[in-house]
Chain A
């Protein structure tokens, strides 16, 4: 029997392992490419999404967020312009009002349904007593209506963490270009934040198979 020298045997084994590993790598993805997971793991360089030049500036009013996400600064849709009777201090001041305007001046249209069961919130748990143009948190800090995430996130901190990162809420119109996300109140009515039940927009037919 002719014996294979030890060194050659080891070399052949290493070669066999290399070939097998190479083949399994090909089998895990499309021919000649890496799997998605590998490509994701190798992509560590941030993508400059401003390169997508067709992502135009939005017509909606936006403000710079006071906090950062993993990619730095970002913008949010503004809220104050959406509040029909902002500024609140136009009515909430020291001037006397006529009783006949009472219906207009009170907020009879607001139905509070925020909190579980009997633990409903009241107006002044979010709205500042001292300055009606601002919200207020439990520490007494004034919070701008455009930056309500700073208040909402005090209780809903998990949602806020996800919102900052991008797993809660959504971007406005574009995935590319400048990051503009919706604010909490773009989607949730702050006085009754749960989503309503309703009929679906459409329906589906069975698939032909």
Chain B
């Protein structure tokens, strides 16, 4: 089963490599030649200033490989460059991980609609954990206040701000559902978004061209676009970052919930599940028959949102 997945991955990657090798290699050679030229110019001008170091790093970043085609050394190198750039540009000492997926792990999520009280601690925790834009008030998680009998969040109120819970209402959380058959991945013309072997749908922010096809393709409003440069106060930046997760985004790229890849691959719960004071959020390994998420799927009434679309999301709703 897993070998099939890996084979498909492999074939896809090789396809990607074939498509662009000649053009990209040509560009790369050009860039090296140009870099040599410009480096000599810069060194001649103002030898080794932080500005020229920043320029050099950005130059190398611009001509790097697609993340999935990088070797481990190349991944380590880009992470090191990004850490240095964060120091030069923002003056923060971030740690960017490129930790890969665990074998025999497929992440899944369940949300208890009869327990959630609409406190929105999950949203707050997500914003802090993932360095979300404070100015545009970007949020990956949305909570809808729903009338009884309705199960479609569009029928609910997503902008409530009053004492919760309100009698005779229930609360329903929506975020990226990390579909196995994700329409956003198919829509991406640059292959900047893909599904990792542990099921997390991620974005390479450096490969995203900002066309927003994925935003239009997602039937769950799971994706967010950076219309401007994201603003996070320096002292609030979460320094524990992941290349595919909460590292700083830039203007004109897509971002989305990554199940907190920087946390989950270290064995931690996503920030939203960890912050929930009501226990409405269950997270775990779908391939482990003893996990909590599997208990929910086996023993509870569960449903998935818009299951008829065939997107095969890994996010279930359940009730007591």
Interface residues of A (CB under 8 A from B): 27-36, 39-40, 42-47, 49, 51-52, 54-55, 69-72, 158, 162, 165-171, 173-177, 182, 187, 195, 197-209
Contacts and interface: CB of A to CB of B under 8 A. Distances in A.
Nearest to A31: B8
Interface string B96-109: 00000010111010
A55 B123 contact: no
Interface string B162-186: 1111000000000000001110000
6 contacts: A71-B290, A168-B320, A187-B277, A198-B163, A199-B162, A204-B159
Contacts of A187: 277-279
B142 interface: yes
A197 to B, nearest CB: 5
B245 interface: no
Contact of A33 (B112, B164, B180): B180
B216 to A, nearest CB: 9
A166 B295 contact: yes
A162 B8 contact: no
Given A33-B5, A71-B290, A47 B104 contact: yes
Contacts of A206: 158-159
Contacts, number: 192
Contacts of B227: 208
B253 to A, nearest CB: 15
Contacts of A203: 120, 159-161
Interface residues of B, number: 78
Main secondary structure of the interface of A (DSSP, over half): loop
Contact of B267 (A36, A170, A175, A195): A175
B287 A43 contact: yes
A207 B221 contact: yes
B246 interface: no
Interface stretch (B47-55, B60-68, B83-91, B310-318): B310-318
A73 to B, nearest CB: 12
A195 B277 CA distance: 10
Contacts of A204: 123, 137, 139, 142-143, 158-159
